Chain A
Amino acid sequence: MRKWCTLLLIAAMALFGAACNGTGGGGKIADDNSLEQIKQRGKLVAGVKYDTHLFGYKDPADGQVKGFEIDLMKELAKRMLGDESKLELKEVNSKTRIKLLNGGDIDLICATMTISEKRKKEVDFSRVYFMAGQSLLVPNNSPIKTVHDTKGKKVATAKGATSGNNLKSVEPGAQIQLYENYADAFTALRAGQVDALTTDDSILMGMQQQDPNFKLVGGQFTKEPYGIGLKKGANELRAYVDQFLDQIIADGTYAKLYMKWFKQAPPQDLPRQAVQASPGK
């Protein structure tokens, strides 16, 4: 009797696994009514960061999610559905965003996601809307000055992100520790549990604004073009988003938002297409 119970348990586990697979892989063969669906339901659901200053951050003071990417999405909702209040935000992180997109929980990802060859197999990307590069954040009194000083040091980053592997390929001696998200990784840095934090400089700048006891060092050692992530085969929606980005760059809206958040003019040479470039690859 007990043996049967055990067998049943294992069978149930396997079924559970298969069911998860079913929802996870469904995105690949979706019919392309991506844009129609959004317009019909009158609501655009965007997966954004809630923990990343300057891009997508839930302000504890008023509970509002704010940032460059949030403003981009509001602008998109305004131009697509006529009203920025028709935007629904959903919190994602590097670990969950692709699963949520392919599971149908969100229409698109605008969450500091680097366009990489590997991710291109799982999702489609819009044109580049931001060019970041990976760097290091360390305490002001840290002996770490360059990437190679991370040899033998503990360096935090977030699960699901490529940052850990990038640093490993530049400096194999770095000890990478992956936390659930960047907020936890930053907490670990502030608690002194790690010696440095590595990810895109765009994210590090936000952390530094939050706590001036830390500084950026090591320069940009990768090229991280950010793109909006869309379900594979959602070509209509992707074309719309591309056109939208081209439009706001041309009419100055993009420059205005860029200035608002990064206190500088946007780069003139922002490429339309680019993929992640790191020294190891």
Chain B
Amino acid sequence: MDFSFLEFYQQEFYDGLWTTISVSLLALVFSLILGTVIAVLRISGVKALAGFGTAYVEFIRNTPLVAQIFFVFFALPAVGIKLSQFAVGTIGLSIYTSSYIAEVIRAGIQSVPRGQMEAARSSGMTYVQAMWYVILPQAFKLIVPPLGNQFINLVKNSSVLAVIAGGELMYFTDVATTEADVTPVYLFVAVVYLLLTVPLSLLVHFLERRWLGKESS
């Protein structure tokens, strides 16, 4: 197989890798914040807020990411909101991933028995104190492994930016196939994605075993 394209497109692949990593990291931070807010809304007990949280999660989770990305990139300029590909990618991936993260966090918090919250409150803690000192430390161990899985998905999902000339790894892979043979190019990029995701996957397994006492599968 002819891998000479690596030399010719070296700079492009470095740029693409950097964009993939930076978009993924930024989207991870924003989706964690957004996801936590949505999760709290959903378990707040206030009907209107919980309803909004549920609607958000269901709408975002049940529409294709590529449609969301196209909408932000192609449709929003009509109402005067023109964003760069990088911004569209960061925003789009943050919103999309936040809906999954919200569910992970909600499930984690709700899996801590109700009695814990009641006991903490009756010991004189406020709701926030009880959350912070009693519930969240226990929920955390349940939340982190599935969060890791969401981050792996996020890294892979960043490849949809290729459709709006996003300048990440998959975009430059497509660009390279203009001149080079497709098989080695796609094989190469698969290995690069694996190098990004396999360590994350191993970390998730490690945390699962350590915190949840699960046998490796």
The chain A residues found within 8 Å of chain B, CB to CB, are 1-2, 6, 9-10, 13-14, 17, 20-21, 24, 95, 99, 118, 156, 159-162, 164-165, 177-180, 184, 187-188, 191-193
Contacts and interface: CB of A to CB of B under 8 A. Distances in A.
Nearest to B73: A193
Contacts of A6: 198, 202
B95 to A, nearest CB: 19
| Contact residues of A: prevailing secondary structure | helix
A24 B175 contact: no
A14 B188 CA distance: 10
Interface pairs A-B: 5 shortest CB-CB = A177-B165, A17-B187, A191-B77, A21-B183, A191-B74
A2 B194 CA distance: 15
Interface residues of B, number: 27
B20 to A, nearest CB: 17
Given A1-B216, A6-B198, A193-B82, A20 B183 contact: yes
Contact of B177 (A160, A164, A180, A188): A160
B163 A192 contact: no
28 contacts: A2-B205, A2-B216, A9-B194, A13-B191, A13-B194, A20-B186, A24-B182, A24-B183, A95-B174, A99-B182, A156-B165, A159-B174, A159-B177, A161-B178, A162-B178, A165-B178, A177-B165, A178-B165, A178-B175, A178-B178, A179-B163, A179-B164, A179-B165, A188-B165, A191-B74, A191-B82, A192-B77, A193-B82
Nearest to A177: B165
Interface of B: 1, 73-75, 77-78, 82, 163-165, 171, 174-175, 177-179, 182-183, 186-187, 190-191, 194, 198, 202, 205, 216
Contact of A193 (B1, B77, B163, B190): B77
A188 B191 contact: no
Contacts of A13: 187, 190-191, 194
Contacts of B73: 188, 191, 193
Interface centre among B77, B163, B178, B186 (most CB of A within 10 A): B178
Nearest to A194: B165
A178 B183 contact: no
A178 B174 contact: yes
A21 B178 contact: no
Contacts of A20: 182-183, 186
A1 B217 CA distance: 8
A118 B178 CA distance: 11
Nearest to A161: B178
A83 B21 CA distance: 55
A123 to B, nearest CB: 14
Given A95-B177, A177-B165, A193-B74, A10 B183 contact: no
A156 B198 CA distance: 35
Given A178-B171, A187-B74, A159 B178 contact: yes
B187 to A, nearest CB: 4
